[in-house]
Amino acid sequence: MLKHLCFLGMAAVLLASSACGQESAATATNETKYLAFQVFTNFTSDPRDAQTLNNGMPEPLVPGTTALRKYVLDIKQRIGAVGDAKARLGIVLGPLCFDQSDAETVKYIELAFDLALETDLAVGFHIDDSIFWRSRKDLCSDPQNVEALDWDGTPCQSRRLDWSKEPSEAPPQMCFNSKVIQGEVQRRATLIGKAVHAGVARLQQQNKPELFAGVIVGWETMIGQDFKTGKYLGYRALLNRGFSRERPPKDLDRERELVVQEFIELWTTGVAEAGVSSRQIYSHTAFLSRRSFRGGDDKNITYMKNDKGNTYSQHNHFAPPSVAFGKHHRPGFSTYPQPGLFEDIYELVNTHKQAGWASCEGTNMQPGTGPGQTGMNMETYLAKMFNHGATLTTIFSWGIGGERLKNMDFRLCTESDEALQAYRKFLKGEPLIEGVVVAGLQDRLPPKIHKIQKTLPSWLQKTGNKEVAQLMQKMQGQMQAKEWLEVEKTADSILKMIGEKP
């Protein structure tokens, strides 16, 4: 009986380490892999938004600020390791958006490199390519720069963002192939690229090239939907490509996908030609996996849930995962766990023979569900990236909202003790174990096993009941076979037998 109890003591460990992930065929080389945390820059005049988007910091992020330094040091101190040239801890500063002036953007970049040298944390940058541009009246006041709802060229007044349970309203959708927009993108990409290139040169002079994590170009790049009507946009871009109601393209979806892909390439080409290595430039798109789009038995999916009646391309706002690949950048994706997501990424990475890709946004939960509902602990989440060729993983939500939002679901995942241990394990160069993923099970089963451990010995001493030994033996076999749902059923039976609530 004692050996059964000792075996139970290992169950929580076994649950988290039941399967070691196999690397994809197109794995990353010996280059540095980065575990980074998103630091949100302040680009809004609304103090309520600033309090959330600016990680709860009351002051804007400008050179000399103590708040940003305090925030960065909190990450470093709580994790307690910065890694080395193989695995490095870092921050990613963004969004760098059109609503920020050129001077402010360059200051952000210079500050980030200052912090890198001061704190020994790597730095990267996250460019919002098209969402936040309302302050650029010179651009958004011209209908030619704004997307249209139809072939008549009816301009979008505001864009829909599905970032929470209820859609929110954002500035109108930018027309990606407007000549004026493309000229401004080239100018802006060059500005950012040159500032980053200068910062990288500083790191190289200090023999610290590993302190540059890269540039993410895009903030889930897509052609979205009109906020008021929900209509899919992109007609202005189609008109610019020579199509019309009388002469529509053979494939409306595919034509808009090309617009998105070319826009990504426009940005990344500009950053690369300014001196930033293409190996350290990433796109950023978000998509619903094909498995989740089809539905099937995936009833728990909430992130980008399929409302049906639309095509796969429409549902992904003309940014299916294939558009993330290009000549001057590596692909990057949002990676909130959903059934089939990682398998889709691995398949495309292998098809493109792509060495290196990025998780540009995510943590180990689906928005709208809550911690533990995906059945994926942080170590498994990290393994889903780093064991399969990812060179950058950017975690969202650390510290967001300050004390006011310290119990936010995202933060409970990102800042948990288990997550901190997973971060340290990666930074120490220890293998990440890809555990079995069963929604909610990793939260439910360990407490049940601990309860059995605590109460069973005294119960046996009082009752002398030997029937429980058969159930213990049964559960041991289920554990060895990694039949975790069956393990839970047997644990429930044991708890009921000894008078405890499952």
Q: If residue 76 lies in a helix (H) or strand (E), which one and from where to where? A: helix 66-79
Q: What is the pLDDT of residue 20?
A: 40
Cα separation, 95 vs 361, whole angstroms: 12
**437: left (phi > 0), else alpha (psi -120 to 50), else beta?**
beta
Percent of the chain surpassing pLDDT 90: 60
Higher pLDDT, 205 or 399: 205
C-alpha closest to that of 324 among 293, 362, 363, 281: 281
Task: For the chain, give every domain's residue range.
Answer: 1-18+438-502, 32-435
Two tokens, residue 392? 């950058």
Residue 327: is its pLDDT beyond 90?
A: yes
- Summarised one tens digit per residue, pLDDT across range 255-289 is 999 999 999 999 999 999 999 999 999 999 999 99
Two tokens, residue 348? 């495309």
Cα separation, 414 vs 132, whole angstroms: 26
CA-CA distances (angstroms) from residue 139 to 98, 136, 184, 238? 10, 5, 9, 19
CA-CA distances (angstroms) from residue 164 to 82, 133, 396, 420? 33, 21, 15, 26
How far separated are the first and last CA of the chain, in Å rounded? 21
Cα separation, 421 vs 396, whole angstroms: 17
Using DSSP, state whether 91 is helix, strand or coil: strand
Residue 47: is its pLDDT beyond 90?
A: no
Two tokens, residue 323? 């558009």
Q: Confidence band (pLDDT; 50, 70, 90) for 52?
A: very low
Q: Are 398 and 37 in contact (CB under 8 A)?
A: yes
32-435, CATH topology level = TIM Barrel (3.20.20)
- Summarised one tens digit per residue, pLDDT across range 345-395 is 999 999 999 899 999 999 998 876 666 656 688 999 999 999 999 999 999
Using DSSP, state whether 257 is helix, strand or coil: helix
Q: Are 196 and 216 in contact (CB under 8 A)?
A: no
Q: Which of 98-102, 377-381, 423-427 has the highest mean pLDDT?
A: 423-427
Q: Are 326 and 333 in contact (CB under 8 A)?
A: no
Please state which of the ranges 44-58, 240-254, 293-307, 422-436 shows the lowest mean pLDDT: 44-58
Residue 253: is its pLDDT beyond 90?
A: yes
Q: What is the pLDDT of residue 46?
A: 41
Contacts of 101 (CB under 8 A, 6+ apart): none
Specify the pairing of strand 168-170 against strand 159-161. antiparallel
Residue 208: is its pLDDT beyond 60?
A: yes
Q: What is the pLDDT of residue 482?
A: 53
Q: Confidence band (pLDDT; 50, 70, 90) for 241?
A: very high
Residue 75: is its pLDDT beyond 70?
A: yes
Q: What is the mean pLDDT of residues 298-321?
A: 75
Residue 2: is its pLDDT beyond 60?
A: no
Residue 11: is its pLDDT beyond 70?
A: no
Q: If residue 358 lies in a helix (H) or strand (E), which one and from where to where? A: strand 357-361
- Summarised one tens digit per residue, pLDDT across range 223-235 is 999 999 999 999 9
Two tokens, residue 115? 């912090």
Q: Confidence band (pLDDT; 50, 70, 90) for 22?
A: very low
CA-CA distances (angstroms) from residue 46 to 49, 52, 60, 339? 5, 10, 12, 37
C-alpha closest to that of 258 among 278, 287, 237, 244: 237
**CA torsion, points 422, 424, 426, 428, in degrees to nearest 10?**
-150
Contacts of 453 (CB under 8 A, 6+ apart): 5, 8, 9
pTM: 0.81
Name all contacts of 304-312 with Cβ < 8 Å and 24+ positions apart. Answer: 304/162, 304/338, 310/232, 311/253
Q: Confidence band (pLDDT; 50, 70, 90) for 425?
A: very high
Calculate the average pLDDT of the chain. 85
Q: What is the mean pLDDT of residues 304-312?
A: 72
Residue 49: is its pLDDT beyond 50?
A: no
How many CB atoms neighbour CB 459 within 10 A? 17
Two tokens, residue 122? 């790597």
- Summarised one tens digit per residue, pLDDT across range 106-115 is 999 999 999 9
Q: What type of residue sits at position 325? A: F
